[in-house]
Structure 1
């Protein structure tokens, strides 16, 4: 067969969704220590898991409109899955909540590139209680394709639900994909501690799997999974047996070698080579393969390209920790496949990793306006001057969060900068309200830069919730003394690496030391130097320059070095509101500037009066809310005035 034969999927009628997957949905707890037994794991990373759920996420990241049919428990883990699905743009109308059963869990470890111990906690779990009456026929019919998997055929009621969903998609004119996904332990064929074993011969399993083969348009499986479906140890006989049951496209995943695609009658064969990569973890590679293959198949690519995209997605995932979080985006896939050689050289691998990080961030912001109240030394100085106890600082910061909420009223694009020294209670309150949260890591006024709390900055940040953005202020000049510059850069590099390792975003605040001469290019040169040594912060927090030349230079550096950066927020430096409004008028012309993170301009006078007991709590909240609202209005007005010209 000509390898450029196009899939029939591009002749499907237009539908609201491209792909719905049905089946397992769990929380994966991945051991973070590589090279040891599960017994020796001391910490675990938490990810969304379950083969069909992983594939739905992978397909969505590649640009397909994806939905999921499953059940989760009415518990913390179920809510975590739902939140992650929404973040990944998955249509969750097919996800129901089980009030009686818990969300499934899986414990996983990585011993080496061939050994991955797994324990499935799936006894009477929520997703295995999926029933036919949980299905929405109209919603299923709105998709171009449905993927079902083997685990949900292992028992009723999910078997009947899978068969009913298959019937509904076919009646609606859609395509049916079968991911064999054979886990013997989930068919009760092996002891519970043998979750990693992928094959054991069993006639009853073969008969059950074969019952859906005739319904399918595509069947995807490893060589072992084709053997269990075909009922033969010999691969050739197994394929013959499968072909006798169905005219479906048969896609055989062959690991590092790539894949083989069999289509037509008599069967014709396309061998698609894999990509050489450094393997860390093969778990999730098959789910990524399915996502890549189906992205190509559902957009009408030729079958060779379908296999190539699947192989590439699988190759990307095996180099990473975790399953669903490792799924590549469309930008990553394009970059990976355009590379001149594989495995990628270190510089190219670093760029791929950065594309992955930047394109899978939890939130995107067109605007970010932040009340910065992470100050520590300044509050201590005011408290000492006014002879009030430092415990009142914590109380005032709680009022500041209420002021933010009074202004924002739950709207997106608002945030707060808070410390843990005096702001720990306020941090808890801000987290409940769902705003962007930044948290400082630096020792105030330190130059060279040092970190507060723990000498091991990575261990310190590891204790912070993932949604807290690490804020670091550095007094830095590109013409600093070489010894000072080297020391400071080493610290920021440590911090940047720690943030990436712990999955935290970084906002880097750069303030020029007042005792060194600076010009319109100084901040831009400082930023470029930090980019050159490998630091790519998610945000920059910069002084509110009124020079267009300075902003031209800054904007050019971001565009040259990291166009995937969230952007810039302006700091205040205690400037009067009038001066900040004038700075807004200049800065608003630059798309890379997203808003501000301003503190003392808003809270300082209010704090002094409150500490003196001249303002009540309510008056302090109202005063800060008014000042913040005025600055938000000024920023938005400046932006709106310039938008028509832009």
Structure 2
């Protein structure tokens, strides 16, 4: 009987378990942890119970903004529940996840440690128990992966991600992969030290290579959550990579990366014009300033809720207006 390399067998097994998610998906992500603790509140671990409760309440304001944006008898022009989703962490958002599930919203919960340059599980080897307890629609990971980065580092990440992917596919759970491709020093130098030039000239091709490397290492997301690109041609190449080799059902969504409104709108319109991009996940641009103003006491809680709802509805309208007829 012929013998096959273990790596080839793993790739074949992963490919056999490809499913994908191709329905419209409009996510409001607020799974930020370190940036909330330090950037929004100026706190550091370990948090007191009161500090934890205050962060959880701030996230509740964001959630109330999402609920206010949904279609209802009082808001017929809102976003359909079947397309609306949220991404929030278990630490500060377990109650939100339970409430959202009861309302039949799409939910996503992160599995990664916050703010790490190298992917690792938030709950170590107990990651599966936590996913099962929270039971989100999607398990999400944020991974910083540059195909030209240190290969030992990249290999460690690929091994952990393949383990997670196999568990999720084996348990019938959906997998959302947030891919960030930070510049290596030599790449940034080649761009004259200009991060925007790196984004335009190098990052799109690196994103394609990263997706391909991760797929070849048995990581099979149902949805790729990616940084925006400036041209439809680059967006199409990303979709082509995400859907190669029998992965036609895999969807791609665009993230906001904390950019200003104008830049987010450009990314949304570019992505929406390309088949395969099914939606977005825009977080800080949606809620950050509203939360800051509410915490400073310059606007009321309800004003913050409505501001967040308005931004979210605008992203949906922009994306849907740019989709091919």
**TM-score, with normalisation over the residues of structure 1?**
0.43
**1:451 aligns to 2:138 (yes or no):** no
Residue 368 of structure 1: aligned partner: 25
Residue 633 in 1 paired to residue 317 in 2?
yes
Match of 2:162 in 1: 493
1:429 to 94, 99, 107: 99
Larger Rg over CA atoms: 1
State the match for 1:439 in structure 2: 109
Asked if 1:512 corresponds to 2:181, the answer is: yes
Judge conservation of contact 1:394–1:425 (CA < 8 Å) in 2. Answer: no
Aligned residue in 1 for 2:233: 549
Please report how far the alpha carbon of residue 351 of structure 1 lies from its aligned counterpart in structure 2 after TM superposition: 6.7
In structure 2, the residue matched to 1:594 is 278
Question: Which residue pairs with 2:17 in the alignment?
Answer: 354
For 1:417 and 1:435, how far apart are their aligned partners in 2?
11
Structure 2 Cα separation of the partners of residues 494 and 374 of structure 1: 22
Counterpart in the other structure of 2:54: 392
| SS of equivalent to 2:183 | coil
Summarize the Cα distance change of 1:389–1:550 in structure 2 as closer, same or farther, 3 Å threshold. same
For 1:156-195, what aligned pairs fall within 5 Å after superposition?
none
In 2, Cα distance between equivalents of 1:563 and 1:353: 10
Shift in CA distance, 523/454, structure 1 to aligned 2, threshold 3 Å: same
Cα distance change on mapping 1:481 and 1:352 into 2, 3 Å: closer
* Change over 3 Å in CA distance of 1:346–1:477 after alignment to 2: closer
1:473 aligns with 2:142: yes
Q: How far apart, CA to CA, are the structure 1 residues paired with 2:15 and 2:61?
A: 43
1:572-621 Cα offsets, whole Å, 9 max, x none, are: 11011111111222212211101101100001001111112222221111
C-alpha displacement of 1:552: 2.8
User: CA separation in 2, counterparts of 1:351 and 1:371?
Assistant: 29
CA distance 1:431–1:610, change in 2 (3 Å): same
Aligned residues: 290
Distance 1:461 1:528 in 2: 26
Instruction: Determine which structure has the larger strand proportion and give its number.
Output: 1
Work out which of the residue numbers 378, 403, 407 in structure 1 matches 2:69: 407
User: Secondary structure of 1:374's partner?
Assistant: coil
Distance 1:352 1:469 in 2: 19
Structure 2: distance between partners of 1:621 and 1:629:
12
Match of 1:618 in 2: 302
CA-CA distance at 1:561 after TM superposition: 3.0
Secondary structure of residue in 2 paired with 1:568: strand
Choose which of 212, 217, 225 in structure 2 pairs with 1:533.
Answer: 217
CA distance in 2, matches of 1:496, 1:606: 36
Superposition deviation, residue 503 in structure 1 = 2.2
Unaligned runs of 5+ in 1: 1-344
Give the C-alpha shift of residue 399 in structure 1: 2.0
In structure 2, how many angstroms separate the alpha carbons of the residues matched to 1:476 and 1:421?
Answer: 25
Provide closer, same or farther for how the CA distance between residues 623 and 479 of structure 1 changes in structure 2, counting only shifts above 3 A. Answer: same
Q: Taking CA–CA contacts closer than 8 Å with sequence separation of 6 or more, which of the two structures ends up with the larger relative contact order?
A: 2
Counterpart position of 2:76: none
Measured in 2, the distance between the counterparts of 1:546 and 1:572 equals 13
Of 282, 285, 292 in structure 2, the residue corresponding to residue 608 of structure 1 is 292
Partners in 2 of 1:401 and 1:487 — Cα distance? Answer: 35
Deviation at 1:462, TM superposition (A): 3.0
Does 2:260 match 1:576? yes
Distance 2:300 2:37 in 1: 21
- Residue in 2 aligned with 1:460? 130
Kindly report structure 1 stretches of 4+ aligned residues shifted beyond 4 Å.
Answer: 345-349
* Deviation string, structure 1 residues 414-447 (Cα, Å, up to 9, x no partner): 1000101111121122112111101011011212
Cα 1:347/1:617, change in 2 over 3 Å? closer
CA distance in 1, matches of 2:11, 2:289: 51
Once residues 627 and 480 of structure 1 are traced to their aligned partners in structure 2, the CA distance between those partners, rounded to angstroms, is 36
SS at match of 2:91: coil
- Distance in 1 between residues matched to 2:52 and 2:295, nearest whole Å: 10
* Alpha-carbon distance between aligned partners in 2 of 1:460 and 1:454, rounded to the nearest angstrom: 10
Given that 1:368 and 1:415 are in contact with CA atoms closer than 8 Å, whether structure 2 keeps it comes out as yes
